[in-house]
């Protein structure tokens, strides 16, 4: 597995990481813990060194899973987790919004360290910007944690460019994590140029469009009642039907390359910038192997030009998140 460095930070990660959320939440009932521990360790055996989790996934169950799985190989991997929602650190009970008060951030860090069975968090993201706490205070709290040795790097998730700049002025931001794929290219207009200017890495989540770009989903697909995609406008049956033109494009390129649609979608992301390190998630061994195979798919200049020409003319239907969730992002 090739490595990439997140911006100017010196933090080296595998070109493709593993987003672990779906193992515990988001896409239906939690997967079998024992099987997921095996999957995480298989990912490492295949070259993955970057594992992404959050206190909110569960809450807590995903961090506990990742901590147990990676404990034997802790010094060989980068663990990223997140703070920022209003979650009781003892009970896991969720409040209605965000909480990035400095004292809460520090308490969450200590709780995360225990669940992750480690003495440091490699990359600590603010999960969503807290409108009630100046980002300078947030960055300052993480700076304190870095000074104490509990955290190595600061990250921001779904933050706007001005928020990134303000945080970066207090404590250098190593990575910004946001949704980015052929299914949603919003970061290209302002965020990516800002990150390049400041020397900050970018970690796209949902790099396969929450599964849409795999070609395994159409307007007739039924999701589990607990799957978040039931509430996403872009995943309504009508929107899925209208947006299949994008999947058809990815499939056509994949066929020419002897690859799968998922591999082409990931290869396209890897070609955008050398400091982009996507974190596709899965609960299946065969999908893990398929996704990691994307690092061997080479898209030519003509391939990339064709994809850009066609996708620039597409007007994909509906929003990427429900309205309430969109209000919590800076993009």
pLDDT reported for residue 331: 87
d(CA 183, CA 135): 29
Report pLDDT digits (tens) over 190-215. Answer: 999 999 999 999 999 999 999 999 99
Over the chain (331 residues), the average pLDDT of each successive run of 10 is 97 98 97 98 98 98 98 98 98 96 98 98 98 98 98 98 98 98 97 98 98 97 97 97 97 98 98 98 98 98 96 94 95 87
Sign of CA dihedral 326, 187, 201, 21: positive
Domain map (residue ranges) of the chain: 3-326
DSSP 59: T
Neighbour-count burial of 300, counting CB atoms closer than 10 A to its CB (0-12 exposed, 13-18 middle, 19+ buried): exposed
- What Cα–Cα distance (Å) separates residue 49 from each residue in 75, 209, 236, 314? 10, 22, 35, 35
| List 27, 57, 125, 180, catalytic entry | 57
Q: How far is Cα 61 from Cα 37, in angstroms, rounded to an integer?
A: 12
pLDDT at position 4, please?
98
Catalytic residue list contains 180: no
Distances (CA, A) of 138 to 129, 144, 201, 218: 9, 10, 19, 41
Q: What is the pTM of this model?
A: 0.98
- By CB atoms closer than 10 A (0-12, 13-18, 19+), residue 223 is middle
What CATH number does the domain located at 3-326 have?
3.20.20.100
What is residue 103's predicted lDDT score, i.e. its pLDDT?
98
């Amino acid at each position: 597995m090739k490595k990439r460095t997140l911006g100017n930070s010196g933090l080296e990660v595998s070109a493709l990481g593993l987003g672990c959320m779906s193992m515990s939440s988001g896409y239906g009932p939690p997967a079998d813990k024992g099987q997921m521990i095996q999957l995480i360790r298989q990912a490492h055996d295949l070259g993955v060194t970057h594992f992404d989790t959050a206190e909110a996934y569960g809450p807590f169950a995903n961090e506990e899973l990742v901590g147990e799985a990676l404990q034997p190989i802790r010094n060989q991997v980068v663990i990223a987790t997140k703070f920022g929602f209003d979650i009781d650190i003892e009970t896991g009970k969720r409040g209605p919004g965000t909480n990035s008060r400095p004292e809460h951030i520090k308490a969450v860090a200590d709780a995360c360290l225990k669940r992750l069975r480690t003495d440091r968090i490699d990359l600590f993201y603010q999960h969503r910007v807290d409108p009630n706490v100046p980002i300078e205070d947030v960055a300052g709290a993480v700076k304190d944690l870095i000074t104490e040795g509990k955290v190595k790097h600061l990250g921001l998730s779904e933050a706007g460019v001005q928020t990134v700049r303000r945080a970066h002025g207090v404590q250098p931001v190593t990575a910004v994590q946001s949704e980015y794929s052929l299914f949603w290219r919003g970061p290209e207009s302002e965020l990516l140029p800002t990150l390049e200017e400041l020397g900050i890495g970018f970690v796209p989540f949902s790099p396969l469009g929450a599964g849409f770009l795999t070609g395994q989903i159409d307007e007739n697909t039924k999701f589990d009642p607990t799957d978040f995609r039931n509430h996403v406008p872009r995943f309504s049956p009508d929107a899925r039907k209208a947006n299949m033109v994008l999947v058809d494009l990815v499939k056509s390129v994949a066929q020419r390359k002897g690859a799968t649609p998922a591999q082409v979608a990931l290869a396209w992301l890897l070609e955008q910038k050398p400091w982009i390190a996507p974190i596709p998630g899965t609960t299946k061994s065969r999908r893990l192997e398929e996704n990691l195979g994307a690092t061997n798919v080479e898209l030519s200049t003509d391939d990339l030009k064709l994809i850009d020409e066609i996708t620039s003319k597409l007007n994909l239907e509906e929003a990427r998140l429900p309205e309430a969730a969109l209000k919590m992002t800076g993009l």
